[in-house]
Amino acid sequence: MKKKKIYQSALGLMKPLAGALLLATSSQVLLSSCDDFLSIEPQNDIVLEKYWKEEKDVNSVMNTCYAQLESSNCLNRMVVWGEMRSDNMTTGSGTSYALQQVMKENILETNDYTNWQSFYQVINYCNTVLYYAPGVNAIDPNFTKSELQATIAEAKTLRALCYFYLIRTFRDVPYVTRPSNDDSQNFQLSATSFDVVLDSLIRDVEEVKNYAVRSYGEESVKNTCRITRWACYALLADLYLWKGDWDQCINYCDLVIDEKIRLYEEEYEKNPTTIMMELYGKYPLISEATGSNQNYAGNTYTQIFGQGNSFESIFELVFEDKQSVTNSTVANFYGSNSTQAGQVGVTDFVGVDPYSGDNKLFTKTDCRYLENIYERSNKYYINKYVCPSLSYRTSTTTGGAPTVSRSPRSDNYANWIIYRLTDVMLMRAEALVEKAGDVEEGATPTEEQTALYQDAFDCVMAVWRRANCKRTATTDLLKFEDYSTSRLKMEDLVQDERQRELMFEGKRWFDLVRLCRREGENDRLIQKVLPKFQENTSAIRIKLASDDALFWPYNRDEIKQNPNLKQNPAYVTVNTEQNF
């Protein structure tokens, strides 16, 4: 008799975690570069009752949490969910059908990118660590209370990060905090609302932030590839920004920034002549040009995106050439070598050469245009992450665009950054602007508003100056008085700078959705996104005017498997209404 293939929902996949189903196979261990902790390989075929006896068992499954987060299924969705519906991206070379439909705003519940299974797998591994690790502490004297607390902080923060991706994408999602360790558990759960999940994530990370490790060692790569206290702070700043708690967002941003200032001062004391960072206002950032030859730029890109684990990094996913698994997301979406462009392209109005005068986002002095984008066969493609290094002259004798010396990676081991310093600085700027609030029509800003706007402007100016200062005359700098008369102008300034600085890093669509939720309407998102469409613009405008349409549909098979999961109204079809 032929067996019938039965679909299991993502929550249904959280089966009893015994034996090999509990643990990743050795081929899934991606983090060997992160010293001994992350090189412990999970073993196969272990009976659950004989497991969870000593510290290495906890470390092994904690390792698996990171390994699963680095999987191509997770990383692909970080990019697709956070970026591909935005005004930055369009189709590229050999774009898959599923991505084409996303780019066309024709997202059906059958689209593979509506599948959230990979994120729930990370969540379940984290839940498993949180459930069993305290028992190991009780029987293994080598697994101390402080180590248990640090492990719980890691697991809860990674779990919160995964749920944060899910609610920003789907809005309301099933919320589970226990592992699937027996058959009696019910995973046919209704979705918990965005705001309830968001509050739960904040409480979770607040509870454990002070137990997270501050540093794994002065030069350890684990300071960026594992959860630290500063990663907790960055995530909390982001969570509070979505909640609209401006003071808390600013507070956690300041904690991260102050730590980077401290590290800069330490490094300056040791190496004042060779340090790669410089101060932009009070903010220490990696310089575009370093060393004796100030005529060339590109060092910022090389350090942050080429080599990875830079001074500015807070948390990133690490891929090394000793690993068996590569970062196929960058290779497939952005490009992998000098002859293979990625499936994702850059919209014409973002990619057009600033020297033509038609680019409304980048000026011709902005280094990030040269670092982020390149042209091939009259189409614009993504360069960020693709090259291990690049350089170009800060000025040219002709006054035209400088030639960028770029060599795409021969391998596919680009790291992927979740949080970095300038992201936190611009979160802080956004919170400051919102805290200042509106200026009454016909009035001038109050002293308090002006101070908050100035503080926000200084954050933006530091990021902007780093990208422009080697190629910009003093008279061309941003001017505070051009923006300081209204919240809207300041808000646009911050949003435009976030778009330039964080372009192609899985942030832009989420930024636009956050703006819509705050304003209660979608007009500004529509104004940004609509120009990339060549057809069906009226229908797309109407669709994107709906709050529901900003979020994704639940996968059709999830709906079939879980009768308590109700489809997003923007994607309800006749079949959905009839339960298929």
Strands (E), 112-157: none
Distance between CA 413 and CA 388 in Å, rounded?
Answer: 9
The reply to whether 27 falls in a domain is yes
Distance from the Cα of residue 151 to its chain's centroid: 22
Distance CA 110, CA 101 (A): 11
DSSP 453: H
Residues in the chain: 580
Query: Can you tell me whether residue 309 is helix, strand or coil?
Result: coil
CA of 85: how far to CAs of 36, 106, 390, in Å?
39, 10, 28
Cα separation, 473 vs 459, in Å, equals 20
In a domain, 177, yes or no: yes
Q: Is the residue at 72 inside a domain?
A: yes
Q: How far is CA 60 from CA 215, 392, 458, in A?
A: 20, 44, 44
Each residue of 27-85: pLDDT tens digit? 333 344 444 433 334 444 345 667 899 999 999 999 999 999 999 999 999 999 999 99
- Residue 385, Ramachandran bin (φ over 0: left; ψ between -120 and 50: alpha; else beta): left
pLDDT at 79: 98
Name the residue range of residue 142's domain: 19-89+105-252
Rounded to an integer, what distance in angstroms lies between the CA atom of residue 469 and that of residue 395?
Answer: 12
Q: Which two tokens stand for residue 127?
A: 């839940």
- The number of beta carbons lying within 10 Å of the beta carbon of residue 352 is 20
Could you tell me which of 267, 273, 367 has the C-alpha nearest to residue 311? 267
CATH number, position 70: 1.25.40.390
In sequence order, the 6+-apart residues with CB closer than 8 A to the CB of 550 are 513, 516, 522, 525, 544
DSSP result, 555-578: PHHHHHH-TT-PPPGGG--HHHHT
Beta bridge partners of 138: none
Closest CA to 418 of 249, 278, 285, 232: 232
Number of domains in the chain: 1
Calculate ∠ Cα 370-359-502, nearest 5°: 55
Q: What is the pTM of this model?
A: 0.92
453 located within any domain: no
Alpha helices in 72-228 (DSSP H): 72-83, 97-103, 117-139, 145-170, 194-208, 222-225
Which amino acid, residue 305? F
- pLDDT at res. 10: 61
335-337 and 379-382 beta bridge pairing? unpaired
| Domain annotation covers residue 395 | no
Calpha distance 575→156 (Å, rounded) = 38
Within-domain flag for 482: no
For the chain, what is the radius of gyration of the CA atoms? 24
| pLDDT tens digit sequence for 521-569 | 999 999 999 999 999 999 999 999 999 999 999 999 999 999 999 999 9
pLDDT under 70: residue ranges of the chain: 1-49, 182-186, 291-293, 321-324, 337-339, 396-399, 470-475, 574-580
| Residue 444 domain-assigned (yes or no) | no
How far apart, in Å, are the Cα atoms of 507 and each of 78, 242, 503, 560?
9, 13, 7, 31
Query: Is residue 82 classed as helix, strand or coil in its secondary structure?
Result: helix
Q: 96: helix, coil or strand?
A: coil
pLDDT of residue 182: 63
Q: Examine residue 60 and state whether it is found in any structural domain, yes or no.
A: yes
Structure tokens at 94: 């050999």
Please check whether residue 380 is in contact with residue 370, taking contact to mean a CB–CB distance below 8 angstroms: no
Q: Given the structure tokens 């008369």, which residue do they identify?
A: 485
Of the CA atoms within 13 Å of residue 237, those in its CB half-sphere come to 29
Q: How many CB atoms lie within 10 A of CB 447?
A: 8
